[in-house]
Chains A and B, each alone.
Chain A
Amino acid sequence: MKLVEIKKIVLQPNVTSVTIDNIFSADYDDYVIMVDYGMGDVPNNRPRFLDASGNEDSGNEYQLHQIRANNTGQLFQRSDTNSMSDMFWKYVGNHQIAYFYRPFSASHPSSALVWGIQSYGNSYTEHAHNHDSLQSNRGIKFIVYNGSVYYNTGTIKIYGVAE
């Protein structure tokens, strides 16, 4: 299995959103996104897809099933909302990896499997996401849902899965 790097972003201080456009294409069916060292120091983060025209899809089209485990047991997060809620937990020291399946295909919902190690809360997360719209997505946008809480640290790397 070969992963081909498409984009690497080193986050700068005090950025309120991160738009990563034109990363999904017909070149690859599936993708891997790695988020290292947390993206920020306050846990607010909600990615959304950018559609084929580059528009942010803020519709109520994102489903989540997440297991979070720590030393007190396991918790579940489940949602059907207007963003990929808690896809990448945002906090210094968190590391996460996601497999995105068919985000560019207009004939598939876009789905994902994600794993994370969370320094914040000393926890482990494992989850699945779905974007229930049959549309082609060409990018992803990271937004904070509190505008005063910035992205300021870490890296985001996007790879195409070349067989």
Chain B
Amino acid sequence: MDIKLLNTTSLSGASSFSITAFTDEYTLYGFTYSGVQGSGSLGLRFNENGTPASTAGDYSEFRRVGTEGTEWVDNHQNSTADYIPLSWISMQSNANISGFGYVYGSQNSNRFTTMFIKGVQGTTSSVYHSYNTGRLEKNSVVDGITILSSTSSNFTNGKISIYGYK
């Protein structure tokens, strides 16, 4: 397997980051992220021709989380979301959101683009162990992602790297 680094973006000083990285050179893409800090919920949108799909109903999402005090808790939005959450609780200035994910079907114009992440959010008191999935409910080609704060607050720390898989 050849895993090629396509992009690394520092998540600091803005409330969203649009990354164009998906082409027909790869059919499977992955990403890693670590040390993310800020405020608001951490979210992901898929970009079509460089523009993030951002209308309510563009996305479905499901997530599951466990902590040091809870076995599992679930949540989902079925065809009502306007972004895919990447964490369970909001970003914090002294926490650590990290993990990795995969994006499937981005280059196929007659399929939904789907994604999966495995993540951990460490705070100054708790651990949040999460699985998040979601899809863009459009049959379209996706050429990148936008990482965002739901409250349009600036990120203060973190990075994301995108890889192509062959």
Contacts and interface: CB of A to CB of B under 8 A. Distances in A.
Contacts of B71: 76, 78
Most buried by B among A80, A127, A128, A133: A128
Given A76-B66, A102-B96, A132 B34 contact: no
Interface in A39-65: 63-65
Interface of A: 1, 29-30, 63-65, 67, 76, 78-80, 99, 101-102, 105, 107-113, 127-134, 161, 163
Interface in B37-88: 37, 66-71
B121 to A, nearest CB: 7
Interface string B108-124: 00000000001111111
Contact of B68 (A30, A64, A133, A134): A64
Interface stretch (B125-133, B135-143, B145-153): B125-133
B127 A129 contact: yes
B69 A132 contact: no
Query: What class of interface size applies to chain B in its complex with A?
Result: 35 or more
A120 B132 CA distance: 30
B160 to A, nearest CB: 11
Q: For the complex, would chain A's binding face be called helix, strand, loop or mixed by DSSP majority?
A: strand
B89 interface: no
Name B's interface SS. strand
B120 A112 contact: yes
B23 interface: no
A1 B94 contact: no
Q: Which of B35, B119, B128 is most buried by chain A, counting CB atoms within 10 A of its CB?
A: B35
Contacts, number: 111
A111 B99 CA distance: 10
Contacts of B155: none
A163 B4 CA distance: 9
A163 B8 contact: yes
9 contacts: A1-B161, A64-B68, A76-B71, A99-B100, A108-B35, A109-B96, A109-B124, A113-B118, A131-B122
Contact of A111 (B3, B68, B94, B120): B120
B96 A110 contact: yes
Most B CB contacts (10 A, CB to CB) among A67, A102, A105, A111 go to: A111
B157 interface: yes
Contact of B120 (A79, A113, A134): A113
A79 B161 CA distance: 31
Given A80-B69, A108-B37, A113-B119, 11 more contacts: A30-B32, A30-B34, A63-B126, A67-B66, A78-B69, A107-B37, A108-B35, A108-B94, A109-B123, A110-B122, A113-B120
A128 B161 contact: no
